[in-house]
Structure 1
Amino acid sequence: MGVGLEKIPQGSYHVRSINFGYNRIRELPSAIFFTMGYKSLRRIELCQNKISMINQRAFRELRHLKIIDLSGNNISGIEIGTFKCNPRLEKLDLSLNKIGFHPDKPFLNSPSLETLILTDNKIEQIYELTFYKLPKLRNLMMDNNIIFSIEAKSFVPLVHLHYLSLAHTGVYRLSETMFKNETYPRIIDVTDTPLSNKFYPPLKKVRNEGVAELINIDSYF
Structure 2
Amino acid sequence: MLIPILALSKTNIYVFERVRPGAVSEGLSSPHRAAFKTRRLDSRRERPERGAGRREFRDQRTDGHGCRLVRSGTRGRTDTGADWCVRGPEDGRTRVQTGAFAAPLRDMKPLLLPCVALVLWLGLSSAGTGTGTGFRPGLNHEAGLSARRTYGRAARALPAAVEPDSTPMTVQASDLPTCLLCVCLTGSVYCEEVNPDMTTVPALPKETAYLYARFNKIKKIGTKDFADMLTLKRIDLTGNLISEIEDGAFSKLSLLEELSLAENRLVKLPMLPAKLTTFNANFNMLKTKGVKANAFKKLTKLSNLYLSDNQLEAVPFIPDNVRTLHLQNNNISEVNVNTFCRSNDTYYLRPKLTEIRLDGNPVLLSKHPDTFTCLNVLPVGRYR
Give the structure-1-normalised TM-score: 0.73
Q: Which runs of 5+ in 1 are unaligned?
A: 200-206
Match of 2:306 in 1: 141
- Contact kept, 8 Å, 1:143 with 1:168, in 2: the verdict is yes
Report which of the two has the higher share of helix. Answer: 2
- Contact kept, 8 Å, 1:108 with 1:133, in 2: the verdict is no
CA distance in 2, matches of 1:114, 1:127: 18
Q: 1:191 aligns with which of 353, 359, 368?
A: 359
Q: 2:232 is matched by which residue type in structure 1?
A: L
After TM superposition, give the deviation of residue 133 of structure 1 in Å.
4.4
CA distance in 1, matches of 2:249, 2:349: 28
After TM superposition, give the deviation of residue 177 of structure 1 in Å.
2.3
- Contact kept, 8 Å, 2:314 with 2:335, in 1: the verdict is no
CA distance in 2, matches of 1:183, 1:6: 51
2:329 counterpart of 1:165: no
CA distance in 2, matches of 1:75, 1:183: 38
CA distance in 2, matches of 1:14, 1:169: 38
Quick check: 61-70 or 130-139, which moved more? 130-139
- Contact kept, 8 Å, 1:146 with 1:170, in 2: the verdict is yes
CA distance in 2, matches of 1:122, 1:42: 29
After TM superposition, give the deviation of residue 44 of structure 1 in Å.
0.4
CA distance in 1, matches of 2:209, 2:228: 12
Match of 1:83 in 2: 250
After TM superposition, give the deviation of residue 187 of structure 1 in Å.
1.7
- Contact kept, 8 Å, 2:266 with 2:285, in 1: the verdict is yes
Please list the CA deviations of residues 158-196 of structure 1 after superposition, one character each: whole Å capped at 9, or x if unmatched: 23211110112222333332357446433211222223x
CA distance in 2, matches of 1:107, 1:159: 21
CA distance in 2, matches of 1:141, 1:53: 21
- For residues 1-221 of structure 1, what are the structure 2 equivalents within 5 Å? 6-7=173-174, 9-11=177-179, 15-23=186-194, 24-28=197-201, 32-33=203-204, 38-101=205-268, 107-125=270-288, 126-150=291-315, 154-155=316-317, 158-179=319-340, 181=342, 182=348, 184=350, 185-195=353-363, 198=365, 208-211=375-378
Match of 2:67 in 1: none
CA distance in 2, matches of 1:191, 1:44: 32
After TM superposition, give the deviation of residue 57 of structure 1 in Å.
2.3
CA distance in 1, matches of 2:339, 2:247: 22
Q: Which runs of 5+ in 2 are unaligned?
A: 1-170, 343-347, 367-373
Q: 1:177 is matched by which residue type in structure 2?
A: N
Match of 1:203 in 2: none
Percent of pairs identical after alignment? 24
SS of 1:18 mapped into structure 2: strand
CA distance in 2, matches of 1:174, 1:127: 18
Answer with 1 or 2: which has the greater Rg: 2
Task: Name the structure, 1 or 2, with higher relative contact order (CA <8 Å, separation 6+).
Answer: 1
* CA RMSD across the alignment: 3.1
After TM superposition, give the deviation of residue 62 of structure 1 in Å.
2.4
CA distance in 1, matches of 2:273, 2:216: 24
